[in-house]
Amino acid sequence: MILRERLTAAGGLDGLFLSDHRSRQDLAGIVSGDPDAAVTAALAGRRVLLAVGGQMAAARAMIALDGLAARLALVPPKLAPEHIARIAHDSEAEICVSDAEGLAPEALPGLARIDAADAVRAGAETPRETEWALATSGTTGAPKLVAHTLEGLAGGINTAAAPEPGTVWSTFYDIRRYGGLQVFLRAMLGPSSLVLSDAGEPVRDYLVRVGTAGVTHILGTPSHWRLALMSAALDRLSPRYVRLSGEIADQNILDALRDAFPEARIAHAYASTEGGVGFTVEDGQEGFPASLIGTRAGIEITVREDSLFVRSGRTGRRYLGAAPEALIDADGFIDTGDLVELRGERYHFLGRRSGVINVGGAKVQPEEVETVINVFPGVSMSRVRARPNPILGAVVEAEVVLRADAGTDQAALKKAIIAHCRPRLAGHKVPASVRFVDTLPITSGGKLVRRGA
């Protein structure tokens, strides 16, 4: 399966478009440009790093490079320069497709570059299978790269069926992340039109664009949807299909979307960069039916020690990089690290076994925040955990044990600790609240007790 071949073979691209906050482009025009032999030669068979600013440039490059490059590593937006360098290294990139918004001129010295505006003039060659490399959402700061095939990425998509007439996809996500890429592929393999979001765009502006473009199918995290439900522009939307993924979808958000869109199919999907698309639930209830455990078409799901395990052709193939840890167990299963609990006939999600906090779809490793707090003068130790939040699902809360020599003005200390974290951590990792405690529970192995914390 090659993206450009699928689009060309589909014919009937008339009226289909790709749009972002700046422009609207015909899909037919995107796939039919005049190829440039020098550009094609520079990219054919190469391991390519895609580091562009906006999603339109990313989408066009992905169409041009699938089937041509040996590997395509996607750099998510707003990544720190050292993390971009890490992805370039781990993906063994030979050439970078970039633009001024995606990569500073002085970054990645020694790596060949081609401007994204030129790269889209790459022509088709003898098709080869391109390996796609996606970044995880950075649980320990540095993202890990997961290798996928296009077949695996599209494994949860019914590519045999023609899309419903008039289908227009959109997603609050970025298409260089797993969830957003699912929507990009659904649109391209349909084919159907696609409206791209932009990270800096206010919710209202995005919703107005989505409404104007006649979007029928739309994906967001529960947090994206909570925000949309608070926007006066929500009534611009009349979707037929509303999809949630990336976070636990609780009953409140499912009910609120049902009220807001009584005519729409509302589905919550369980998927991850490593594990691929596991399943989709459309009965409007939180959690998932226990009947999904077992073997179905193309996927096996099991629960071991309260954690979900997945085995299927849709999971990642392996991690990339020097001395990568194993992604897939010897028996072919991937441990998702997601804890579940059976209540009656339904499983419910409890969160991450590792204690990773999910702040509106962005992951926070507690240890990373604790390390920053623990160097603050007067701090003895700290424990970072999720504080439930109705807007983002969770925010970061720190419990701090002070040394005897710490000051006594607790309100001032709280402010100082948060101010200390702010320049050292991404915004969503900075504690929203700090509580002072006398002690923290430690296991017999000397580790902080996290589970159930």
Q: Of the two residues 334 and 359, which places its CB atom closer to other proteins in the complex? A: 359
Q: Across-strand partners of 381?
A: 401
* Residue in the block written with tokens 């696609």: 194
Q: Across-strand partners of 281?
A: 268
For 251, the 3-state DSSP assignment is helix
Q: Of the two residues 177 and 224, which places its CB atom closer to other proteins in the complex? A: 224
Q: Across-strand partners of 17?
A: 26
To other proteins, the closest distance from the beta carbon of 376 in angstroms equals 18
Amino acid at 144: K
To other proteins, the closest distance from the beta carbon of 253 in angstroms equals 9
Task: Answer for the pair 20, 56: CB distance below 8 angstroms, yes or no.
Answer: yes
Q: Of the two residues 103 and 207, which places its CB atom closer to other proteins in the complex? A: 207
To other proteins, the closest distance from the beta carbon of 338 in angstroms equals 22
In 3D space, the residue among 450, 433, 432 whose CA is nearest the CA of residue 442 turns out to be 450
What span, in angstroms and rounded, lies between the C-alpha atoms of 25 and 56?
9
Q: Of the two residues 348 and 414, which places its CB atom closer to other proteins in the complex? A: 414
End-to-end CA distance of the chain: 46
Q: Of the two residues 95 and 260, which places its CB atom closer to other proteins in the complex? A: 260
Q: Of the two residues 71 and 363, which places its CB atom closer to other proteins in the complex? A: 363
Q: Of the two residues 150 and 227, which places its CB atom closer to other proteins in the complex? A: 227
For the chain, what is the radius of gyration of the CA atoms?
Answer: 23
Amino acid at 196: L
Residues that bind other proteins (CB under 8 A): 202-204, 223-224, 226-227, 229-232, 252, 255-257, 259-260, 359-360, 387-392, 395, 422, 427-428, 432-433
In 3D space, the residue among 194, 196, 183, 178 whose CA is nearest the CA of residue 157 turns out to be 183
What span, in angstroms and rounded, lies between the C-alpha atoms of 270 and 312?
14
To other proteins, the closest distance from the beta carbon of 359 in angstroms equals 8
What is the token pair recorded at 324? 């990568």
To other proteins, the closest distance from the beta carbon of 217 in angstroms equals 21
Which H helix or E strand runs over 168?
A: strand 168-171
To other proteins, the closest distance from the beta carbon of 227 in angstroms equals 5
293-302 exposure pattern, b = at least 16 Cβ within 10 A, e = fewer: beeeeebebe
To other proteins, the closest distance from the beta carbon of 339 in angstroms equals 22
- Calculate the CA 49 to chain-centre distance: 18
To other proteins, the closest distance from the beta carbon of 219 in angstroms equals 16
Task: Return left, alpha or beta for 174; rule: phi > 0 is left, psi -120 to 50 is alpha, else beta.
Answer: beta
Q: Of the two residues 344 and 427, which places its CB atom closer to other proteins in the complex? A: 427
